[in-house]
Amino acid sequence: MGRKSQSKQTTKKNSGKENNKFLQQKRRELALLVDKVLRLTSIFQASGTVSKSWEHHLEIDSIIREVINLEAPQYRNSQGTRQANIDKYIKWLQDHEVQFDGVQISEFEGYDLGLKATKTFTEGSLILTVPAKVMMTEKDAQDSDLADFIAVDPLLQNMPNITLALFLLLEKNNSDSFWKPYIDTLPEKYSTILYFTSEELAELRPSPVFESSLKLYRNIARQYAYFYNKIHSLDIPILKKLQDIFTYDSYRWAVSTVMTRQNNIQLANNDVTAFIPLWDMCNHEHGKITTDFNKEQNRGECYALRDFKEGEQIFIFYGSRPNSDLFLHNGFVYPNNKHDSLSLTLGISTSDALRETKLSLLTKLGLAGVTHFSLYQGQNPISAELLAFIRIFNMNQEELTKWSGQGLPGDLVSSDDASAAAVGAGIDRRAYTYLLTRCRLLHAAYKKDSTNNELESLHRKNIKLLKESEIQILDGAMKYLTEAISKLSVAENEQK
């Protein structure tokens, strides 16, 4: 018996050593991969072509997938489904004086969870109030054990959203967290581009959001690698806790939570980044901002942006944001978005003989360093900055000399009748013709998608909706430009 017992103990010891060696080997492999990610995401210059950006992304993504595979066994989500935790969440809200009489958490087709009215709310009536004490803020992070890390890290000192992401990750893995009932009802994953496959990202082309998505993915990959190295090298007590829970997958979850749910509120006369429980379950609809922070009551208040009948979903307005922003940072697209816009990349070629004169005139208007200009949804699609650029871009030497001699050429950024007359029909006709050609070329690059929408993933549905909204903007702009050019041609002929 004694020998058998000794044999078992020896086996256990050997097993422990082998397991430890295995973990050490995995950590070494992971450290090498993290260094590759950090190097790749740090050396890349954003001035590269789209094709180079894509090649670079594929390199980074390939390593990130290896990282995820290595880290997978380290982190298991025991949160369960959101719906299973709702009862505890509601009790927690009630216990901490969140007022939401007539409001119920419900599932809605196409929205996952949202808030449903269980009674009628008239426009402007108070729907819910959320005391500051239940909000999770960057100040809570600064007052926590994370403070020692914040004190020595410049990134955390300047980016409260990242601070909040790390704090959320710590609280998610703290069984005694005050916010546990709130955290347990958060989504387990998101529809942000951080969860897109490379195949899905590739389908974004030719949308301008394609490059923005690659940049966001690259930034988060770099942040992950940066913090991984910090967490495993600095001798700060709280980082020991993070070592066991900080993975790429957990970090993208925390970052996505912040991107989709963060709000700026004023606490003690300071702008603070915060999560606002319950209120952040409201989905977006066009309207007006009807939420505010009541300093006297020290609480957030949400008022009805319109009449809501019993059984209806309660919506709030997220602000005047284009679909590119909603897609990138919230993971959805809002059809027929009145505040939508399309970003055009334009610049003065280095081979342009009039380049310096044009740049000098753009400098007077504060536009010399601007490379992205907006086309808007609606009747007036050309932004003031874009109008000024296309006018200056299409001027000849004589016209440039004339406008350069003025103090501040304000007429160049205005499309009203007086400014248009000052600029002249000749310049505007050339400018609008140039922009129309650019719009047609971009429009032609969008391929018609014949895929059955019902069979598509949520990611692909959002991509399709985004592209449709961009084509709609281009259609509107081309119609506007065609009509404007026709009128300008008539005006020129009358002047002859």
Residue predicted with more confidence, 54 or 43 = 54
pLDDT score at 80: 60
203 vs 26: CA distance, rounded Å? 34
Q: What is each CA distance from 400 to 224, 318, 319, 355, 491, in whole angstroms?
A: 48, 42, 39, 11, 22
Mean pLDDT over 242-268 rounds to: 93
- Mean pLDDT, range 247-273, rounded to an integer: 91
Q: Residue 18: which pLDDT band, with cuts at 50, 70 and 90?
A: low
Percent of the chain with pLDDT over 70: 90
| Mean pLDDT value across residues 211-223 | 96
Kindly state the tokens that stand for 190.
């998101």
DSSP code, position 407: S
Tell me what pLDDT residue 194 has.
97
Least Cα distance to 68 among 221, 209, 255 occurs for: 221
Please tell me the predicted confidence (pLDDT) of residue 24. Answer: 81
State yes or no: pLDDT of 110 exceeds 90: no
pLDDT category, 269, cuts 50, 70, 90? Answer: confident
pLDDT at 5: 45
What percent of the chain has pLDDT above 90?
Answer: 79
Residue 4: per-residue pLDDT: 42
Three-state secondary-structure class, residue 424: coil
Please report the pLDDT score of residue 489 as a whole number: 81
With 70 as the cut, is the pLDDT of residue 492 above it?
no
Mean pLDDT, rounded, for 439-447: 94
Contact 152, 234 (CB under 8 A): yes
Long-range contacts of 355-362 (CB under 8 A, 24+ apart): 357/397, 357/400, 357/401, 357/404, 358/392, 358/393, 358/395, 358/400, 360/404, 361/392, 361/400, 361/403, 361/404, 361/409, 361/412, 362/388, 362/389, 362/392
Q: Is the pLDDT of residue 236 over 80?
A: yes
Written as one string, the DSSP assignment of 112-140 is: EEEEEESS-B-TT-EEEEEEGGG-EEHHH
pLDDT at 440 over 60: yes
The tens digit of pLDDT for each residue in 379-428 reads 999 999 999 999 999 999 999 999 998 878 889 999 898 999 999 999 99
pLDDT the model gives residue 49: 75
**Do 304 and 316 touch, CB atoms closer than 8 A?**
no
pLDDT of residue 387: 96
**In angstroms, rounded to a whole number, what is the distance separating the alpha carbons of residues 370 and 373?**
8
Q: What is the DSSP string of 195-219?
A: G--HHHHHTTTTSTHHHHHHHHHHH
Instruction: Tell me the torsion sign for CA atoms 169, 175, 177, 182.
Output: positive
For the segment 450-476, what is each residue's pLDDT rounded down to a tens digit? 665 566 889 999 999 999 999 999 999
Give the Cα separation of 190 and 196 in Å (integer): 10
Q: How confident is the model at residue 73 (pLDDT cuts 50, 70, 90)?
A: low
d(CA 52, CA 61): 14
- pLDDT value of position 45: 54
- The answer on pLDDT for 9 being more than 60 is no
Q: What angle do CA 69, 73, 74 make, to 5 degrees?
A: 110
Q: What is the mean pLDDT of the chain?
A: 90
Contact 100, 128 (CB under 8 A): yes
Res. 16: pLDDT tops 60: no
Is pLDDT above 50 for 2?
A: no
Q: Measured between alpha carbons, how far is 218 from 81 in angstroms, rounded to an integer?
A: 30
In the 3-class helix/strand/coil scheme, how is 241-285 assigned residue by residue? HHHHHCCHHHHHHHHHHHHHHCEEEEECCEEEEEECCCHHHCEEC
How confident is the model over 123-138, as pLDDT tens digits? 999 999 999 999 999 9
pLDDT in tens, 124-173: 999 999 999 999 999 999 999 999 999 999 999 999 999 999 999 999 99
